[in-house]
Structure formats: C-alpha cells, structure tokens
Amino acid sequence: MNGIHDMGGLTCFGPVRREPDEPVFHSDWERRVFAMNLAGMAFLGPVDRARHAIERMDPAEYLTTPYYEHWLAAIVTMAKDLGYLTDEELRTGRAAGGKTPPHPPPTADMIEALVRSGMPATRTDGRNEPRFRVGDRVRARNLDIPGHTRLARYVRGKVGVVTMHHGSHVFPDTVAHDRGENAQPLYNVRFEAKELWGDNVARRDCVHIDLWEDYLEPAGETRSAP
Amino acid sequence: MSDHHHPHDRPPNPYHQSARSPERDRELAERVAKLESLLAEKGLVDPKALDRLVEIYEHDLGPMNGAKVVARAWVDPEFKRRLLENATAAVAELGFGGLQGEHLVAVENTPKVHNVVVCTLCSCYPWPVLGLPPGWYKDAAYRSRVVIDPRGVLAEFGTTLDDDVEVRVWDSSAEVRYLVIPERPPGTEHMSEEQLAALVTRDAMIGVAKVAAP
C-alpha cells in the first residue's frame, strides 16, 4: 500500500524537533498502550499485522497524532478485525460476549521471558538458498503492492549492490495478511545517493536498506564487493 | 544548534506534537482505561503483565546498555571484531538481547565513514541496547529527510562532517536492528571502560552525534 507512513525522501516536514529531557512516556495512557500492544501480540499479532493496522490510519490523522495514538489505533483495529471487540463495546466499556481467546493471556513472568528471549524472524523452513551474492548488482522491483510491504517507495526501480545476506526471514507482505510466513533470503542493499535522489546530492553518501528476495531482480553485470 | 533554528527555506513543522493538550490527554486516558478493562475482562491481557512491561522499558533498558557495548569495543579489539562480525552474539556476552534486538548489526564510524540509523516506514530501533526511541526518531521530519539529506539533518543536531566523509544511512526496514559504534574521542586513552561508557550518548549510537571529548 502506498501510504503516508512510507515517507523516506519527503522534505516537507521542516526541521527535526527535539524535546529536552524527554521522558520515556509522557502520560500513563501511553504506558498502558505500549504494554497492551506488546502483551496483546499473543492474540493480535504478528508485528507486521500491527504495522499494517497503523498504515491503514487516516493519513491526516497519522500525521497529526502523537506516536502512541498510532499504537492505540493498531490495537483497536486488530481487536475488531479479529472479532475480539466491537464498536459498541469500545463505546460503553462493557464486554458483550463475542469471541474469547484460545488460552489465558501471558503472565508477567511469561512476558518478561519473551522480552529477554525475543521473537527471531529467521526461519529454516522456507527458501534458504540465496539467489544473490554479496557484490551483486540488483534492482528493487517496481511493484504496486496493495497490502502491507516493507519495499519502501524510494528504492523501487533503483539499482544497488548487495552488501549482506541476513539469512531467511519471515516475509512481511504475506504474514501480515495470514498468507503464511514465506521465509526467504533477506539482503542488505546499498544504494548510492545519486541513484536515489539525483545528480545534485552528495555523491559520496548512500542508503543501506534491508530487502527481501522477492523485492529484487538481477541488474546486469556483477561487480566486486564495495 | 538550538531547537528554534529553522532553515529559512523550510516552514516550521506543522505536524509536531502540538496535537497534545490536557483535554486530549484526558480523553485518551479515558479511552485507554476502557480498552484495558475490556481486554482484561476478555482475557486478552493480564494487567500485571502490562505493569511488568512498563517497568522493564521505563527502568531496565536504555542507552546505558549500548554505552557499555561501545566502551567494551573501544578497549577490547577482540570484542570489537566479534561485535562487527555478529553483534547479536557479542552483545549477548554482556547480557543484552531479546525483543527488537534478535538480529543486531553494529556499524563502525571512522574518520572517513559516518553511519546514521533510521526507520523510514515506522519506528524500528534496537530496544535491548538503546531502550525505546526518542520522539524525534519516530516523527515525520527525521524519518522522511535523513535518507535524502543526511548532512542537513545531522547539522540540525550540531554534527557537521567534512566533504570527504562518506555518510551511510541505515534504513531499518526488516527485523534487523543497527547500532552505531561511534569514534572514540581523543584524550580518553587513560580512561577506564566504565568512564568511557559514561561518555557514550544515545544520539551517538543512533549516529546523529559524535561522542564529545571529556
């Protein structure tokens, strides 16, 4: 989906604004939203579904609301999509039946264990044999992807060089939509600034971005590693 | 550079968090309390688990972890080698890792290469070593512009680079998380690892600043 969240390369937002002595959270509701989002992943996840729920926010609202309102929107959207909550329940604050989760929610100890162990995105049950090697020239495919994707618009159609092979990772475009993990090789690709932005930018600079194999196609001759 | 500096060709950011107001905050507090009681009643979340999560991210994790990693890399070349080769494993040696740090990559600043990290699509950030990201990292201004005008954005942080320095911007588009190893400042040769860690800032590990000499 070509959404407002995909903002790499826009220059219309003015200078970066920093908040001196910024606290981790500004209000208690931010704390609860942050924690509900993480703990709720047991039933509402995976993370790419949460990201896509944010991407589906009204774009004007996306730009004008503080960050944790995005996470709030994600919890509500996912819980409604999955049939756990209704608008009526959200309005009244009173549960009115509906779907119940298949097992009890994670306890504090289970959550702490999850924070410590993490949730690796690497898999061995998908496509493991990399099609590209470090040093290969690749083109990011120019695709119109209707749902969730991590193929940022600013690299589509551009040519770069593979700098790392990260192993096979869960594919966001399908896992976000319950179409399977489809793990496949993930690469880091270096794009020169002038390839991305034009001839009048600093030529020495570059952007490195992680791209899944299905986002890439060969771009002619290979050259040695940069 | 002060927060009030605006490059004259750009308007002030109209999307900044001026959206916050006490009224809005009260409204959100009510909505969120309702949502939490609903999710708890339906057995989707355990409020005690939420308390624990907040505690961990507000108190246990933060840039002090990453600073220890950087200081170790500065004093121990063997550790630095392992860190650059497999940051997830090297960081685990110091007891750090887990959620949003499952696949870590460390990138090293040198006199000729300056690295800076962003997530243009959302807010990906290496939580186990840096904690939760600052607001500006998640705001439109930084996410949109640091890829196309990294030198301009760095200048807003007071970081100016010579023309012959190569700027590498790392866009965290997958579950791989990037940590910048800043350059060790001059005049720190006799400092202990602990003293060095105290010099290392969050911004230096994102790559928008350098570590200042003591």
Using CA atoms, how far apart are residues A66 and A55, in angstroms rounded to an integer? Answer: 15
Task: Check: CB of residue B139 under 8 Å from CB of residue B16.
Answer: yes
Q: Does B64 touch chain A (CB under 8 A)?
A: no
**pLDDT tens-digit readout, A78-129:** 999 999 999 999 998 899 988 889 999 999 999 999 999 999 999 999 999 9
| Euclidean distance between CA atoms B141 and B147, whole angstroms | 11
Tell me how far apart the alpha carbons of residues B73 and B75 are, in angstroms, rounded to a whole number: 6
* Separation between Cα atoms, residue A49 and residue B38, nearest integer Å: 21
* B145 close to A (CB below 8 A): yes
Token representation of residue A17: 């604004």
Strands (DSSP E) found in chain B = 103-108, 113-118, 166-171, 176-181
**Do B60 and B195 form a contact (C-beta atoms < 8 A)?**
no
Q: Give the residue from chain B lying closest to A94, CA to CA.
A: B38
Asked if the model's pLDDT at residue A202 lies above 90, the reply is no
Mean pLDDT over each residue of chain A, to the nearest integer = 94
- What ipTM, to 2 d.p.? 0.96
- Cβ-defined contact of B171 to A64 (cutoff 8 Å): no
Q: How confident is the model at residue B18 (pLDDT cuts 50, 70, 90)?
A: low
Give the per-residue pLDDT at A176.
97
Query: Mean pLDDT across chain B, nearest whole number?
Result: 92
Q: Which residues of A touch B11 (CB under 8 A)?
A: 14
Give the tokens for residue B139: 């705001």
Q: Global pTM?
A: 0.95
pLDDT for B2 beyond 50: no
Per-residue pLDDT tens over the stretch A126-150? 999 999 999 999 999 999 999 999 9
How far apart, in whole angstroms, are the C-alpha atoms of residue B63 and residue B120? 21
What letter represents residue A103's amino acid? H
pLDDT of residue A119: 96
Distance CA B132, CA B127 (A): 6
C-alpha–C-alpha distance, residues B75 and B84, integer Å: 14
Examine the residue annotation and report whether B122 is marked as an active-site residue of this protein: yes
pLDDT at B3: 40
Residue B22 binned pLDDT confidence (cut-offs 50, 70, 90): confident
Of B43, B101, B173, nearest to A104 by CB-CB distance is B43
Q: Strands A216-218, B176-181: parallel, antiparallel or unpaired by DSSP?
A: unpaired
How far is the first Cα of chain B from the last one, in angstroms, to the nearest whole number? 20
Q: How confident is the model at residue B6 (pLDDT cuts 50, 70, 90)?
A: very low
Residues 6+ apart with CB under 8 A from B133: B123, B125
